[in-house]
Amino acid sequence: IFNVDLNLLDKQYKGLQKQLHPDKFATRSSDEQHYSADLASTVNQAYETLKDPYLRSKYLLSLKGVAMRDEGTITDPEILEQVMEAREEIEFSRDPASLDRLRRQNEQILKSTIDLVRQAFDQGDLPLAEKHTMYLSYLLKIQQEILRKLPVH
């Protein structure tokens, strides 16, 4: 249930946006205009959720009754150590080359963690999907911290 064909998603999103474009409702009643605007907003939110693996996973978990907090606690000592080491390395790094190396490493870990989330959903293992999704949230924050410190070209 986790896999999404992003090309198909994009195509369907653009099709719905064309159908719900405000210009198509300019001559309609105020109620119809508001309704189309609400639908367009819902479509935008759904698109943003489905195209992002972290948001998609959180949403799928919520559909299964698992309400994740935005900030969770990492209980796995190995993962906790990885996150703390990465944050420390980012904090003390002044060299753009080392930050870029960290960014590339983190991207690889992100990709493998997304695969783990996918596998957990495929197996119907919601606690494992939740654990990997929580780890994914930390990896995304690490990525943001790295990008914030990297010089803009």
Rounded distance between C-alpha atoms, residue 3 and residue 8, angstroms:
12
The candidate with the shortest Cα–Cα distance to 84, out of 152, 7, 145, is: 145
Burial of 134 (0-12, 13-18, 19+ CB in 10 A): buried
Q: What is the mean pLDDT of residues 31-47?
A: 92
CA distances from 95 to 37, 89, 98, 144, 149 (A): 47, 11, 5, 17, 10
Q: Residue 153's pLDDT band (boundaries 50, 70, 90)?
A: low
Q: What is the mean pLDDT of residues 81-107?
A: 90
Q: What is the mean pLDDT of residues 135-144?
A: 93
pTM check: above 0.95: no
pLDDT confidence of residue 70: 63
Tell me the pLDDT tens digit for each residue of 106-130: 999 999 999 999 999 999 999 999 9
Sign of CA pseudo-dihedral 71, 73, 78, 80 = positive
Q: What is the mean pLDDT of residues 26-45?
A: 91
Query: Which residues, at least 6 apart from 72, have a Cβ–Cβ distance to it below 8 Å?
Result: 134, 137
pLDDT confidence of residue 115: 97
Tell me the pLDDT tens digit for each residue of 56-78: 999 999 999 998 876 667 777 88
pLDDT confidence of residue 71: 62
